[in-house]
Homo-oligomer: A and B are copies of this chain.
């Protein structure tokens, strides 16, 4: 067995070789922080390629279906822009240009011959987090030990995307172990670190950080991330995207690689990340209408419900009541986040809706309990995997790591017994019940005859922080614990002129103070600010519908 660093060197060499020479940037920008404008000025993209990659998912699908744009043209455009993005923020893992273009050509041929699209995603290139196995390709998931692990078949979701006519075309970077709630940034021993396109000194978040950075740079119209504690929503929020965390089992997981396999309680789910809200709906509907439950035993047999999307259970969108959670009682958000909540509140009231305050219920306990479940055996899980090659387990996401961070969220080496795990899971069940009861009880406060329709809250207490400092995930993790679908949506960007540092509040504790101290308007300048809309379990249709309603209110 080679030393692990030799395996890495070989893998990186192969990755570099997979990039067409003519797509390489001769002199990548070095000291530029914001690289979002680079692709359109570097000269590698044609006018049409720029036009294509600036187009939203639904419009792309229309032009692909009509034959106005071929899938080869669209896939080539995004591929080129993805490769440019990669050279700026290091976001890709597997690159397979020929294969993707061959697939695109087949789709074009089919359309030409039959006059019909293959499915609702005909011709659309889609990027995939480095867990979604594609037959014949490696999936390393950031583990050196998995270099050389070639998939014998597609993950079910990949099969469904293909059935829907999509073109899987790149895979994207992740943190080692994938456990974003422990390391919600994107760094591993093989591919290194992915950075934030808006400011490369900031993190893109994680664990679906490669997707976040790639989609923000328009290197993909739509990407698929996974989310066990915030891994779709954190990078979506840090990179200014829409990102949906569906309920367990709504999108198939079968056949994908993962961490903590066999952990049956707080589950990872796949979800879309995109710049266009319409794309979220189109993707989710297409996948569900492909009946994933026939192929994945853990997928929920629940049809896409257009009535629920039209908000049948929410007065058909006429007069909703939203609850805004200004903070979670553990960590007080930075000024740009609070300002964005205020923007949303004003927009919703202006649009005729009601807004009340949400009192968070035991969010600290929900987060702690969730990590207790994952850490019941995560240390052993990581060790079993990494010990194959002896690659080191990463202990910090800092650029220049000091000693291992002795953070409270790090897993215990020894794990716990099955009986102890059951006791934590029982505690979880009780917390879920309390939250359900609290939600139902709001019927007395809303004035709509219904309980609140959704919660609106931060996706993180800050915009994208500097590398190594994204240390608090409860704003997303609690909804995983409760299995509530949640959609991140962009609201604003950090504006130092407005988002001045506030006077110190009465700190909840030293950790809250450390988050307060982190804020400096210049550090976060121009970073996107997103928020989160949270609905009830298996209510994906309504969550998408309500997020559209909020997005519309924000633009009026």
Which A residues form the contact surface with B (CB < 8 A)?
A: 254, 260-265, 293-298, 300-302, 376-377, 380-381, 415-427, 429, 432-433, 435-436, 440, 482-483, 536-539
Contact = CB atoms under 8 A, between A and B. Distances in A.
B297 A537 contact: yes
Contacts of A381: 419, 422
A424 B262 contact: yes
A131 B491 CA distance: 49
A294 B263 CA distance: 26
A281 B539 CA distance: 26
A260 to B, nearest CB: 7
Given A302-B300, A433-B254, A440-B294, A264 B425 contact: yes
Closest 3 CB pairs of A and B: A262-B422, A262-B426, A377-B419
A416 B416 CA distance: 9
Contacts of A426: 261-262
Nearest to A379: B419
B537 A301 contact: yes
A437 to B, nearest CB: 8
A227 to B, nearest CB: 19
Given A264-B264, A294-B440, A300 B538 contact: yes
A135 to B, nearest CB: 16
A141 B155 CA distance: 44
Contacts of A264: 264-265, 422, 425
Contact of A418 (B261, B297, B415): B415
A263 B425 contact: yes
A176 to B, nearest CB: 19
A418 B537 contact: no
Contacts of A424: 262
Contact of A538 (B301, B436, B483): B301
A483 B300 CA distance: 11
A301 B301 contact: no
A83 to B, nearest CB: 35
Given A254-B433, A297-B433, 8 more contacts: A262-B421, A262-B427, A262-B429, A301-B538, A302-B302, A302-B538, A377-B418, A418-B421
Nearest to A265: B264
A428 to B, nearest CB: 8
A435 B261 contact: no
B295 A432 contact: no
B416 A297 contact: no
A491 B381 CA distance: 49
Contacts of A421: 262, 377, 418, 421
A297 B432 contact: yes
A293 B482 CA distance: 13
Contacts of A482: 297
Contacts of A376: 418-419, 422
A422 B377 contact: yes
A498 B184 CA distance: 69
B435 A539 contact: no
A435 B377 contact: no
26 contacts: A254-B433, A261-B429, A262-B421, A262-B423, A262-B426, A262-B429, A263-B425, A264-B264, A264-B265, A293-B536, A294-B436, A295-B436, A296-B436, A297-B433, A297-B482, A297-B483, A297-B537, A298-B429, A300-B300, A301-B539, A376-B422, A380-B419, A381-B422, A416-B418, A418-B421, A421-B421
Contact of A416 (B295, B300, B417): B417
A250 B362 CA distance: 28
A78 to B, nearest CB: 32
